[in-house]
Chains A and B, each alone.
Chain A
Amino acid sequence: MLEEVKEPLDPLATAEAWMEAGRKVAIATVVETWGSAPRPVGSHLVIDGDGHFEGSVSGGCVEGAVVAEAADVIAEGRPRMLEFGVADETAWRVGLSCGGRIRVYVEPLLG
């Protein structure tokens, strides 16, 4: 029988491995995009209780904000919906510089 090859850079496999190791995990998923969005619907970013993460929901523009929200999601044990876009100059820091808009669903991985 052939050996199973570990998938590199696979967020859902990482989430399972983290869970098996007893780590708390949140899963963020792109559920909707408008305009030019860097990652397609269905893309995942997984985050553990210490802020380690794997995967992406954008080109790196909003991951920081999602990781911060994930800490709350893990603490509360309830999912939440986040929306990112470029509304004005001040929104640029946690928005998408490409001009698109995305909705990201962040949920706890329940044991």
Chain B
Amino acid sequence: MDAASLKTLNRCRRERRAAVLLTDLESGASRVLVEGEAPEQPLREPVEKALRSGRSGTVEAGGRSYFLNVHLPPPRLVVIGAVHISQALAPMARIAGFDVRIVDPRTAFASPERFAGVRLQAVWPQEAFEESPLDAYTALAALTHDPKIDDPALTAALEAGCFYVGALGSRKTHAKRVERLTHSGLGAAAVARIHAPIGLAIGAASPAEIAVAILAQVIAALRSRGLEERGEAA
């Protein structure tokens, strides 16, 4: 690989643009193909297929052997609420490979001192999503316990097709939430997609343990029904 290709590839990855690193296994030459740029024949079909499926592999084309390394955007985790659980969840999720951001309009909570090195948006969820829209590569965990912050975020996540949507709160709290969201016009199937009470049932007690339970559930969603659905079955 050459320096320019590595820089281009890393830039695409930072900017959440899908890209394929194409390496000629005989000559060693490599180049980056960004999604939307159609490569010349005979590589067009293999590259498009790789981008669709998200699967890397070797291909034979035009009598040569190539390795296609697909880089799809890393899954993003949007946490609504700069709360105690989020302080544990953000670094854990980052280590697990998630692009993490925290949204909380309450500036007393969303302070850089409490979240060193984490992308923090001290605005209402709707404003945050205008700046960086939710997508199918995104998981959303609503942790504020405050309907006026959580509800619009949950609605937006369900509408955007986020691969995971979870909300903190007891069964009783969630029953009320379901009532509110249904009343606001969301369909039963959409509302049923919300994981609540949030997190895998591991008996988590402390904020850090709850963060583990949430992260495990997000990973389960990603690996069981997540991005692979975009392409052919795994």
The chain A residues found within 8 Å of chain B, CB to CB, are 2-9, 12-13, 15-16, 19, 27, 29, 31-32, 40-42, 78-79, 81, 105, 107, 109-111
Q: How far is the CA of A67 from the CA of B192 in the complex (A)?
A: 49
* Residues of chain B within 8 A of A3, CB atoms compared: 119
**Contact residue among B2, B13, B121 (Cβ-Cβ distance under 8 Å from A110):** B2
Candidates A5, A7, A16; contact of B6 at CB < 8 Å: A16
Please state if B28 and A107 are interface contacts (CB–CB under 8 Å): yes
Residue of A nearest to B69 (CB): A42
A-B interface contact total, Cβ < 8 Å: 64
* Residue pair B119, A41 in contact (C-beta under 8 Å): no
Chain B interfacial positions (CB closer than 8 Å to A): 1-3, 6-7, 9-10, 13-14, 23, 25, 28, 30, 55-58, 67, 69-70, 94-95, 99-101, 117-121
Check A5 against B10 for contact (C-beta < 8 Å).
no
Is B118 within 8 A of A5, CB to CB? Answer: yes
A105 surroundings in chain B (CB, below 8 A)? 23, 25, 67
Contact A107 B94 (CB under 8 A): no
Name 29 interchain pairs, CB-CB below 8 A, sorted by A.
Answer: A4-B14, A5-B100, A5-B119, A6-B117, A8-B94, A8-B95, A12-B6, A12-B9, A12-B13, A13-B10, A15-B6, A16-B10, A29-B23, A29-B69, A31-B57, A31-B58, A32-B57, A42-B56, A42-B69, A79-B28, A81-B25, A105-B23, A105-B67, A107-B23, A107-B28, A109-B1, A109-B6, A110-B1, A110-B2
